[in-house]
Amino acid sequence: MTSAKASKAPDASRRSERSRRAIFDAALALVTEAGYAKTTVEGIAARAGVGKQTIYRWWPSKAAVLLDAYLDLAAQANDALGGAAHGEEGASGIPDTGDLAADLRYVLRATVDELGDPKYDGPTRALAAEGLVSAEFAAQMAEKLVEPQLTYYLRRLEAAREDGDIAPDTDLRIAAELLTAPIAQRWQYRTVPLTHAYADALVTHVLRGLAPRP
């Protein structure tokens, strides 16, 4: 790197961060308004006020930029939940206070709040819809989003099993999905309102099934 370039680096970095933010905002707004199929790299670039080549310098495809924009949004939600307070990168967002039921109620209430927030609702629906019809996009969503989120639950449930709070023969992945899938289904078909009381009742019903048996 030449010294001329080095002296420009802080500005360039600020500009990059500003562009990245504008690209993410444009990508999420467009996919929410127009859906995945009609969102294009050209459209994102135009709305973000950057050149198309700026996007292609950082991301190989529309799918990649949309996923990164969504992961950034999800990370903000996780930070808001207190995940960042743990001080680790990719912190779980699931606290371990030693009270499994309380910890799960906390995180599922937050999930209910997030799914009810238009900021998350639109992009989540658009990307989940694309995942339903595109196996390739679903695989990327699973790898970067679904499996990591499931891992947070698996870790908390594993700690609970070690503490003797859940039965030793529990299939932890099934247990994690019992906690997350029913909320997603109510959200998907908007069949009944998602409330904190529902989140609490779900935790109660699932934990009854996981409890150690005599």
Footprint of a copy of itself (CB under 8 A): 35, 37, 125-126, 128-133, 135, 138-139, 141-142, 146-147, 167, 170-171, 173-175, 177-178, 180-182, 184-186, 188-192, 198, 201-202, 205-210, 213
User: What is d(CA 108, CA 111) in angstroms, rounded to the nearest whole number?
Assistant: 5
Distance CA 148, CA 190 (A): 25
Rounded to a whole number of angstroms, the minimum distance from the CB of residue 119 to a copy of itself is 16
Measure Cα distances from 84 to 3, 77, 88, 156 in Å: 36, 10, 7, 17
> At closest approach, how far in Å is the CB of 23 from a copy of itself?
22
Minimum CB separation of residue 52 from a copy of itself in Å reads: 24
Residue with smaller CB distance to a copy of itself, 80 or 184:
184
The tokens 């289904």 sit on which residue? Answer: 185
Among residues 80 and 133, whose Cβ is nearest to a copy of itself? 133
Distance CA 140, CA 71 (A): 12
Minimum distance from CB of 135 to a copy of itself (Å)? 6
37 versus 80: smaller Cβ distance to a copy of itself:
37
**H or E element, residue 142:** none
Of 5 and 190, nearer to a copy of itself (C-beta) is: 190
Which SS3 state, helix, strand or coil, does residue 201 take? helix
Whether 35 contacts 132, CB under 8 Å: no
